[in-house]
Structure formats: structure tokens, C-alpha cells
Amino acid sequence: MVSYKRLNPEDVHFSSAVLSGEPRPILEEVSVPDPEEASLLLRRPSCSVTTCLVVIGCLLLLLCGGWLLGTMFWLHRPSNQQPHRPPPPASGQIPESKAQPKVNDTAASFRTEACSRIPEAWRFDCYPERGVVVTRELCEARNCCFIPASAPSSPATSPSQKNGIPWCFYPPDFPSYMLVSLNDTLLGQKGVLEKKVKTYYPGDILTLEVDIRYETNTRLRVRITDPSSSRFEVPISVPTVTKKAESPDYSVELSKQPFGLIVRRISTSAVLLNTTVAPLFYADQFLQLSTSLPSQFIYGLGEHRSTFLHDVHWNTLTMWARDVPPTEQTNLYGAHPFYLSMEDGGNAHGFFLLNSNAMDVVLQPAPALTWRSIGGILDFYVFLGPDPGSVIQQYVEVVGYPAMPIYWALGYHLCRWGYGTSNSTWEVVKKMRNYRIPQDVQWNDIDYMDRFMDFTFDPTNFGTLPDLVRDLHAHDQRYVMILDPGISSTQPEGSYWPFDEGLKRGVFIKDAEGKTLIGKVWPGLTAYPDFSDEVTQEWWYDNLRRFHEKVPFDGLWIDMNEPSNFLDGSTNGCPANSLENPPYTPGILGGLLRAKTVCASAQQKQSIHYNLHSLYGLMEAKASASALKQIVAKRPFVISRSTFPSQGLYSGHWLGDNRSQWKDLYTSIAGILTFNLLGIPLVGADICGFSEEPQEELCVRWTQLGAFYPFTRNHNAIDVKPQDPTVFSPLARTAMKQALLLRYSLFPVLYTLFHHAHVHGHTVARPIMFEFPNDVKTYGIDKQFLWGKSLIVTPVLDPGVNYVEGYFPEGVWYDYYTGNSVRSAGEELRLDAPLDKINLHLREGSVIPTQAPNLTLWVSTGQPLHLVSALSDDGSASGDLFWDDGESIDTYENNQYAYIVFSVAQNVMTSQVLHNNVEATYITVESATFYGVKVKPSRVLVNSQDATFTYRDNQVLTVTDLGLNLSQNFTISWM
């Protein structure tokens, strides 16, 4: 029991979870000593008055002298050593007055004054544990400052509410590491850090090594490790550098005591990283690193449901893969410790912590950020940009460029949990065809399986599944099925090959005693494949190959791969050890690492699950993509729920089990944009929502927005009404069909954007601020977005309206449908938006290739091209097209592609084939439209020959009947 007696209200700070009402472990026991027991000093015999006066006088002189020296040192210390922070610590040692409390009231008052000088926004939490009543005694036992916050963190909350201003925080002189030696290396510098005083977490490591690597002119890498013992490191491939950058865009300053790094952008002197703002922690199961931020504009840090721009007002984001419907302030399916930050003047930089352990990322309004991980090492990168798009390019250069998707991945996908039978699934496909609504891919959820077991199909209800798949193929359509990692462990021996063979090969995760760990998922009791083992990957391939011989599926949907578990840990529970109950547990849903997953102490080939948990989805995606490449000999299509950095190499992602609510429609945009930052551009949300009953208006608006998701799938849950386009009214059905046809007509644009993502690390769905980094008004926009640099999408996100307001950065924007121009000074504009329309505008200076749409992309991609040019004031525009066979592996790497550049200047469009391929010979350019032609032409020439044209009063010129071969250069001119 916690002792509450003798505690005044101002002496008690409730930690986050106490006030949030979440169930937590038993609170720490706190006792308050009686006054007569409080002193730890031995009683001394009384002395003479003279002796006492002399001693007291000497003490006062020493204290005053020390205070004066310390104050002078603080005042005269160069300000550029500690930018963006309160007064820096003067020492890494605990003063003697703190080691022996109540020795001197004067020293205590000096300490209180030093603590009070730290502004609330710069107070870094010294007692982040949840479920603890933080008292003054507990706080000061950690040698930290205890000051109740002066006001609630917001008008509606109490001062000690979750994510509020910490009442217990680090003082300036909290013990930390000091840099005791530094030597030059081939890549930069390497130093030794030492700490003389242990902190309050067990396994404190007193000697560390810091390795600073100037890897490129725009990329800095820093590794802080334990030189005496190897620790877990994330097993993903990153670039190996052998030569130091010659002219880095950054400078690195080192603070010796306390140790810290200050990274600046040389061109502006902006401080991008400053780790001296709070103590560095490096214990066995607790790593903590804090830094200032140059602004409040910070993005990334997936996977969380939030606005695109993160709130820095005492906001904690927890990372530990978890099966839970998208919910605010909750750790979701993936873990991505990367952020992008905007600076003053439009520059941007990024930061990536290569660490897979459970962690909290704390944002506070200084602005500052704290990383708090419970394992691994501190291995981080700083990317200099300087524009936000370049930051993402530099990030994916480290974690891996996203794969080029197979062409049909960009079509319309349809799925639901609850078709019930293969014939019912087939009927929906036929209805879509009858209404002539585009559809490329049909999916099935777990109801296709025999008793929910992987690599089976229900012989009764889904007996015609092979016939359905053959029919899809005959109509140039594809089939994708779901797979969960949990393998049924209760079937009679010899009746279920996946489990029997898995046991034989030893592919399953083991418990702490070395036995197969058993959890529970849809098929009942299950074992979990260990995808960190190459043997498991081969077993996975064998299972897929065997099933493909029965049902020739085209792609895989891997779900429940956090991994999810209906139990906490296993059927036998989990051991009572520090892996299951670490000294610090981040704010994960359920409060325990094993909550609705397997035991943290479970054993895998590469490490314990404690280290590998958030990598599970990545490793399964890698195994699945590898298997599909071998089975279908084409680009693999994999969509995964759980993700980790480098996932884009192997799979796309959908945003999980959302709801059929307008709020979910809106938040999906932030999710799409964030995952494009994270190097996973093939991303979408379940159109119309997964759970709850879909409303017709919502479904129409969602289909319109979903037509511009990079990955477009309609999916809903069991026991709710169907929500495919065929079930709605004629008006709604027509509106959905038009939106999908619009997407299909823009396929050449989307496909080319994915090429640039694959080769250059560009984003596909792009935040507006990426193209307008000097316009601060764009920094928080997440109700609109761009496709590439050219098309701005302004969807309706509210019910019952026939208009929408959107922000248009400075310049000329053209209505995509009409060519009508809008000149914006950087302002919000009100746009008509009837139920059958999504607003789409083309940016001045753009050329985009489009095609006549059809029911499948196989048919659409063979149609002639129509070029749309949006001219800037000087009459210029440019664009490009990447084209290949759409499905072969590594066409760019093997030079099996065509690449054409279009440009307009001085009334002449030129097409230049920079790289040719036979695929381009199959396509013709039949027409071209030019928006913003200010004077009606008297003549139009195509390759110097007269051509038919029309000109409208809104300054739109259209040239038809061109018949130009895409593989040959051409010109279109007017006079």
C-alpha cells in the first residue's frame, strides 16, 4: 500500500496513468520518516560558541565563493555552446549537499533556485514511470528537482495529467557522461565517455564509446555503444561508408562535461541537434537521449493516429507493434523512429534512430524531443536535406528504396470479411463487371479458410475458389488472399502439413524454456513462425508453393503480424523476469510488453523477442516477397499490417481496422502522407471504413478520396452491410464509378511517380509543404495533398455539404476538368463540390500523360495517351513518363524500360525519348491539351505538318488526331 499520510497536495504528483484511469501494476511503496529520524548525521558533542562561529563562517565563505564562481562561469560561458536551452549544468557530479540532505539550508535554497530557473517548457521528466505517485521524496531520491507546475497544461486538464508538465525533472547538475578522450578516424571521430556516478536504473553502463561518422555531405551517423559488451543491433542492411565526407553541410560540436553533441547547418547556423539539453542515459534496459528542436514543425514518428503535423505540447508517442484499431495516443501496428523537422526559412532535416526496442518519444514545447528506449544501442542518423523531399531521399537511401509495384497493384481492389462463400465473392465480381465499374483485384479475408487455418480453403463454402481465380485471370483480373502468421497447433498429427513440417524443421518461436510457444488466434491454439530464421523462410515458401498449385493466387495480404495474440504471452504465461517486466515500460497499450502478443522472453533465431518484436511484420514481408518472386516470377505484391523501416523494399501497407466515420476519412490523409515520408508509398486506408455500418454519402466521398490513395482498396467487416459500389443508389454508384475511372485515366502519372519513388526515393502522395517549403501556411495542411508535384487533391471530408475549402499556394492553378485558371496569392478558396465531384487542380508548369480508362488496367494501359499541359505565365511546362511491361522484376535496373520527357516553351511542345524500349512502340499519343494559351493560335503544326485544333475562351487549346508513336521524338507548335 502507498502511504498517503502526511503528504500535502503540493507534495504529490500523480504520474500519467494514474489519472488516465488505466490499470497499472501495484504502486511503489513510499514511507515518510518521522522528523527525528530524518537526519542521517551522527550526533556530535556540543562545542564552544567561538568554535561554532568560526566553523559556520568558514562554511558560509566557501559556499558564497563557490556560488560566485559558478555564477560567473555560467554567465560567461559562450552562448553558442548550449543553444535553445536553459542554463547548462556546471558539473556532472552530485554535490555533497545532495548526498547528505538537510546539511545546509543555504545549499538547499541555492538548489531550489537553480531548479526554479528552468522554464517549464524545458523540464525533462526525471520520473517517467507510469502508475507511480511521484512524491517530493521519490523525486529527490533521484537527485531531481520537484516543483509542481504553475498551471494546467491546458484549460481543461489538471496540471499533472497525462503528458503534462513534469513536476519531477532533471537539475542542471544531474550526473551524466563526460568525454575523456577523442581521436580522429577515417570517417570522423571516436571518443570515450565516462560517468562516475550511477543513476537510478539497474545495469548502468559507466564507460561508453561514441563513433561520429561523416558519411556523406548530407548525412551524419552517430553510434554510442558499450565497448565492453555487445548489444542487440537492428538487423537491416544500411550503407557501408569507407571515406569521410569532404564538404559536409553540417558541423559537429562536442560538449565535454556533460557530454553532448551539437549539430548545426553550416549555411544558416541553425541547430539541428543538441543533446546537451538533458542527461544521457545508457543502462542495460534504459537508453535516453534528448535534443532540442529548431521549430515546432515535426512529422513522421509512425505509426500513430494523429494529425500529420505532430503536437509538441507534452505529447508522448509510444512505439511497440500492437494489434489495435487506429486510436489516438496508442501504439499501433508499426514502429518508425524517424522524424522530419522544418526549420526557419524553409529548410528541413531528418533524424532516424535505428532501434527496434519498445520506446517512448516525448515531444515538449521547448521545442524538444526525448527518445526513451529499453534496449539495443543508440545508433542514429541526421539528414540535412535541405528541402523536405531531399530529407526523405536521404532517409530511404539508408533504409532502402521502395520496390516498384506490379502494375495491377495500382488498380481498384475489393474485399470484405464475410462474403461467406466463393460463389458470393464471384457474384460481386460479376456485378462490378455488369455495371462496368473498374476493378483489378478481388480479395478474400479469413472466411475462405478451412477453420481459419493458413494454406487451406473451406471445401464446402469455398469449393469453387480455384474456379473463381481462373475466371478472374480470364478477365485480366487478379486474386489476393489473407494469411495470418499463427499456425494451428491442435490438428491431428499428420493431418496439417504446415504445423507438422514446421515442428520437424524447428521453425516456430520458442518459449524461455526452449519449447514451442503456443498462443491463440483465429484457428485456436497456434504456433508462430520465426521469420528471423532462414529455415523458416524456406518453409514459408514451400507452404505458399504448395497452396499456389491449388489456388493460383497473385498476391498476399499478411495480417495479424505484430504478432497478434488473443492471449497475453502464451498458454503457459511468461516468466517473471526483467525482460517481461523491465525497469521502465513505455506507454504501450495494456501496460505490459506481452499484452496481446507473445512473451518478450520468447526465443528466436536472431535474438529474443524483446528485441525483435516490432520487426516481425518486416521479416514476414521479406519472406513473403521472396517466395512470391520465385512462385509467380513477377514483381511480388504484398500488403502488410505491421511495418518497420525498410518495409517498402518488400511490401505496401494499409492503415488497419478503421471505422466507417467521417473522422476516419479525414485522419486517413495524415496516415497516407506519413507513410510516404517513411519510405512506404504503396499505402491506403480501407475505403468506406472497415467496421460499423457504411453511410452512402460517406462511402461516395471516401471512394473519391480513395481514388487518390496510392493503394486503393474497399474493405469491410463481417456482420455489416456490403459497401462495394454496386449496392448503393444509381447516383452514388455513378459517382463512385466516375472517381475510379478518373484514377484509371491517371495511371500513367501514378506509375511514373512510383518509378521515381523506387529510383530516387520521392514521395507519391505528397504533403503540399514539400513543394512549397517557404510557405508556412502549408506546414499543417492534412486535408489536401499532392500527387507528385503537379496535382492537388481537395476532397470533401464533411457530411451534407456541396462545397469544400482548400488552400492554394501562390501561383496559377488549373481546374483539371475544365482548364479554368485560378491565380492564388497563397489563400483559401471555396470550391463547388457536388456529390459526384472531387476537386482536382493542375499546377502551372506541369505536363501529365493520361489514358482513356477501362475496366482493368491491363486494358487501360494499352490505350492511346492524351497529354495535358498547364502553362505557367511564361508559357513553359514540363513532365515525364516511365513505361515498361508493368510486371517484370527490375526493369529499370536491367534497362528494360522507356523514359520520355515532355517540355513546353515558346509555343512549342517537344517530346524527347531519353531511354527507349519496345513497350513504348505499342502506345500512341492521340491528343494534347494546353491550359493557359493566352492568344488563340492561327495555326498548329505537328512535326511541321498542319493539325486539327480547337481553342476555347478559357484559354484552352486542344490538338487531336495526332497518331504519334510514343517511342519517337515529336514536336507540337502553334502560332
Residue 167: all three cell numbers together: 513536476
**Pairwise CA distance, residues 469 & 475, whole Å:** 10
Of the listed 562, 657, 724, 880, which one is catalytic?
Answer: 562
543 within 8 A of 509, measured Cβ to Cβ:
no
Q: Is the pLDDT of residue 336 over 70?
A: yes
Model confidence at 35, pLDDT cuts 50, 70, 90, reads very low
In which residue ranges of the chain is CATH 2.60.40.1760 found? Answer: 178-399
CB 475 within 8 A of CB 856: yes
Q: What is the CA radius of gyration of the chain?
A: 31
- What is the DSSP secondary structure assignment for residue 469, as one 8-state letter? H
The answer to whether 105 is a known catalytic residue is: no
Contacts of 177 (CB under 8 A, 6+ apart): 92, 193, 194, 195, 208, 258, 259, 280, 282
Strand-pair category, 811-815 with 821-824? antiparallel
Residue among 474, 287, 272, 492 nearest 383 (CA): 272
- What is the CB neighbour count within 10 angstroms for residue 915? 15
> pTM value?
0.89
Residue 384 near residue 249 (C-beta atoms within 8 A): yes
Cβ atoms of 152 and 159 within 8 Å: the answer is yes
Distance CA 927, CA 943 (A): 14
Q: What pLDDT score does 19 carry?
A: 32
Distance CA 193, CA 255 (A): 11
pLDDT digits (tens, 9 = 90+) for 834-852: 999 999 999 999 999 999 9
Query: How confident is the prediction for the chain on average, in pLDDT?
Result: 90
Task: Identify the pLDDT of residue 110.
Answer: 84
Cα–Cα dist 280/358, whole Å:
18
Confidence of residue 111 (pLDDT cuts 50, 70, 90): confident
3-state secondary structure of 886: coil
What is d(CA 188, CA 317) in angstroms, rounded to the nearest whole number? Answer: 32
State the pLDDT confidence band at 104, using cuts at 50, 70 and 90: low
In this predicted structure, the answer to whether residue 738 has a pLDDT above a threshold of 50 is yes
At 107 the pLDDT is 75
Tell me the CATH class for 178-399. Answer: mainly beta
Q: How far is CA 577 from CA 599, 806, 915, in A?
A: 11, 54, 61
**Confidence at residue 142, expressed as pLDDT on a 0 to 100 scale:** 97
What cell was used for 279? Answer: 542527461
- Over residues 508-555, the pLDDT tens digits come to 999 999 999 999 999 999 999 999 999 999 999 999 999 999 999 999
Mean of pLDDT values over 862-867? 98
Phi, psi of 81 (to 5 degrees): -80, -25
The pLDDT value given to residue 20: 36
Fold assignment, 408-724: TIM Barrel (3.20.20)
Average pLDDT over residues 169-196: 97
Range(s) within the chain of domains with CATH label 3.20.20.80: 408-724
Q: How far apart are CA 639 and CA 541, in angstroms?
A: 17
**What pLDDT digit, counting tens, does each position of 348-381 carry?**
999 999 999 999 999 999 999 999 999 999 999 9
Give start-end residues of each CATH 2.60.40.1180 domain in the chain: 757-974
Report the largest interatomic distance among the alpha carbons of the chain, rounded to a whole angstrom: 117
The pLDDT score that the predictor gives to residue 751 is: 98
| Bridge partners (DSSP) listed for residue 104 | none
Rounded to 5 degrees, φ, ψ at 220 are: -115, 135
Give the count of beta carbons closer than 10 Å to the beta carbon of residue 472: 22
Query: What's the rounded mean pLDDT across residues 808-835?
Result: 98
Q: How much of the chain exceeds pLDDT 70, in percent?
A: 88
d(CA 343, CA 391): 13
pLDDT score recorded for residue 151: 57
Q: Would you give the DSSP letter of residue 95?
A: P
pLDDT given for residue 77 in this prediction: 38
Residue 268 has pLDDT above 90, yes or no: yes
The active-site residue out of 125, 379, 559, 782 is 559
Fold of 757-974: Immunoglobulin-like (2.60.40)
pLDDT-based confidence at residue 31 (cuts at 50, 70, 90): very low
Annotated catalytic residue 562? yes
Cα distance between residue 931 and residue 334, in whole Å: 43
